[in-house]
Structures are given as structure tokens and as C-alpha cells.
Amino acid sequence: MTLQASGAISFSDLRTEYASSGSVSLGSYYRGGGIVRGNSGDNPSTNLSANVPTSGGISMGSFYGQKRAFKYTESTNRTNKEASDYFGTDSSLDYPKEIVISSTVTNNNQNGVALNFASNWDGDTTLTVNGTIRSYSGFCIRNQSSQSITVDGTGSIRKNNKDALVTALQSVNGTVGLSFSAGGFGGASGGGVRHSSVAGNANFHFLLKRSATNTFRFEWTYNECDYANLGGGTENFQTAAASVIPLDSSGNYDDTNTNTYVYNGGTGAAGRDSRDFAAASKIINGQREFWFCTNNKRTWPTDIDGSANAYTQNGHASTGLSASNSRRSSLIQTLTGDHTSGTFSISGPTLTTG
């Protein structure tokens, strides 16, 4: 509570407000002492006992309107915020703290935290959310300490889900085995292509590898053109300059990207045949779908058409590309967000999704 603004203030009032006991003198309540704490040098918050002197003349009137607490009002949009930034080393001090969120604090990272209270956090704490705390996966607010945090306010705490690459493709040299969305039509030989480590379709599958931060490629161990096995090989379908799997600046999957991407290429030839590889991705019904196609009768550069959603070998056959033959489930996982982690007592802000 806040001490009264006028009238008589008793020692009992001071003991109650400043959690003191026993026989004390008025000089025991100088700000910066053991009872009325001062801000440490790295504590940017407002001291709600700022009018209490640190030395010299002191009277009961010095405590009018004062309160035992540090307070910080966040009025700037933040991303992945540590609550300790608001109070510096005093965040681990057993002294009351108040945080008011009047803006937006957001987590945009995979499995991250919008507002985090570290394990050494201490002191009765009230978090007033009048703005928005939002997480696109992970947690909106996380309390790693043993101190319960009271949450109130008129704003909102919003959890969301976020698409991310499957774990195997989040690191360089990660791989997944895939069957092609379309492949093999239009040639008398029906020449197959495959990787020996991938189970499934006997003739048309490959290993997808993240060979560098921005580079993904096809890998195969068998490639038939005009009845001849040309052996193994690789082909980059994505580099820093050309995307099929959109990434952000940190190399994470960018699920905010709405562009259509198409790659058409190929490698290896024998007799009448020439190996064609193609890849594409596009937003369909609000989510990105992925296709990988091949044929031993090269059709590049018109084999995947991003507008027509088709893989076409001119003069032979065409396969429609849709969510039903997308390889999304092999590339993308959905990370689920949550409102809180840890101990909170929440009464005020709306807990919602969006």
C-alpha cells in the first residue's frame, strides 16, 4: 500500500509499510539503508520512496505518499525481454517490484519467451499488463523463480503457434528422406532416381540435406537415364540467392513469408534422357506447401509453373501440385505457444490466442 498523503503517520504505519519490526528510530528509515532501499547503480526503475531523504533532516512528513517498492513502466515495444533489465541487480533483492506493460512485448523466436523472470528473481512482484504480451511459440511470460508473480491489468496475453523446420533440418548437415511429389512419367525407360538410405518409393525418392546455413540440396545414389545408371550425385536447389524454403536472417524458417518460389534444374544425361529436378513452394489455404519433382526427360525451364500449380513435361504429361501431394509434413513442424510457464496469480489481462 501507499502511505497517506497528509495527516499523522505513526511508527506503526512505517513498520507496516516497510516490513520492519522492533525498536527503530526515524533515522533507521533513511533511503539507501537496510529498510528503505535505494536503487543500485544499474537499476533504472522509479523508487516509490524517492522523497525519503538519504541523510540530514527527516520527519514523518518525508513519508507522505511514499511506498516500499521499485516501479518500471514499459512504454516501448520490446522483443524477448528479460525482466531483470528493469531493475538491474536489484531484481534478485527481496524488495517489492512493480512492472507496468503499456506497450507490446513480443517473442518472435522459435520456442522463445516474450518476458522472462530469471531463477534468482526475488521480492513481491506485480506485473500490470495494460498493453500486449505475445508469443509466437514458447511462452508469453515465464517465471523461473520460486517467487509467485501477481498479474493484473486491462491488456492481453496472447499465445500463438509458429511453423518451424523439423528438428533434423534446423542444423547444417541435417537430412530428411523424401519421395518425389511427381516423377518418372513420359519416358520409355521410366528412369528412376533414389538414395539408398531412404525407405519408401522404390524408384523416386531422395535425401534432402541442409548443407550450409542457406543451402539445401537433393542427394541421390542411383540415377537412371536411358537404362544407364549414372550413379550418385547432388544438386543445390536453394542458395542464399534463391529460396524454396524461406528463412529469416538467423537461418530459421520464416513463416511470415508469402512469396511463391520455383526452382527448375537438372543434372546428368545419357542417350535420349536427361535428368530433371524441380522444387517449389507456395501458400495454399494459409500455409506453405512444398513439392519436389523429377523426370528423366528433361522439361526445364517450364516443368514447375508457380501460377498453374503443375509439374509439366511438354508433350507428355502434367501433374497437378496441391496440398494432397505436398511434402510439407516432412519439412515443417508447428511449435505451440503458451501463455505462461511457472507460478503466476493472474486476475486482470485477457488470456487469448492471436
* 31 neighbors 49 (Cβ within 8 angstroms): yes
Cα dihedral sign for 219, 225, 228, 230? negative
Task: Give mean pLDDT, residues 59-71.
Answer: 93
- Say what the pLDDT of residue 186 is: 57
- Confidence class of residue 190 from pLDDT cuts 50, 70 and 90? low
Sequence spans of domains, the chain = 1-68, 79-160+336-353, 182-326
- Confidence class of residue 266 from pLDDT cuts 50, 70 and 90? confident
- Say what the pLDDT of residue 214 is: 92
Residue 303, pLDDT above cutoff 60: no
- Cis geometry, peptide bond prior to residue 246 (ω within 30 degrees of 0): no
* 3-state SS track over 30-85: CECCCCECCCCCCCCCEECCCCCCCCCCCCHHHHCCCCCCEEEEECCCEECEEHHH
Task: Give mean pLDDT, residues 182-191.
Answer: 64
- Confidence class of residue 313 from pLDDT cuts 50, 70 and 90? confident
- Say what the pLDDT of residue 301 is: 45
CA separation, residue 333 to residues 70, 169, 232 (Å) = 42, 11, 30
- Confidence class of residue 335 from pLDDT cuts 50, 70 and 90? confident
- Say what the pLDDT of residue 264 is: 87
Residue 188, pLDDT above cutoff 60: no
- Say what the pLDDT of residue 308 is: 60
Q: Report the candidate in 189, 347, 164 with the shortest Cα–Cα distance to residue 251.
A: 164
* 101 neighbors 127 (Cβ within 8 angstroms): yes
**78 Cβ neighbours under 8 A, 6+ residues apart:** 103, 104, 105, 106
* 293 neighbors 179 (Cβ within 8 angstroms): no
Interval 280-302: pLDDT, tens: 999 998 999 999 988 887 665 45
pTM equals 0.71
- Say what the pLDDT of residue 348 is: 87
Residue 319, pLDDT above cutoff 90: no
* 267 neighbors 233 (Cβ within 8 angstroms): yes
Q: Report the candidate in 172, 256, 166 with the shortest Cα–Cα distance to residue 214.
A: 172
Within a 10 A sphere around the Cβ of 142, how many other Cβ atoms? 22
Interval 203-261: pLDDT, tens: 889 999 999 999 999 999 999 888 889 999 999 999 987 789 999 888 889 988 999 99
**In the predicted model, what is the mean pLDDT of the chain?**
90
Task: Give mean pLDDT, residues 99-112.
Answer: 90
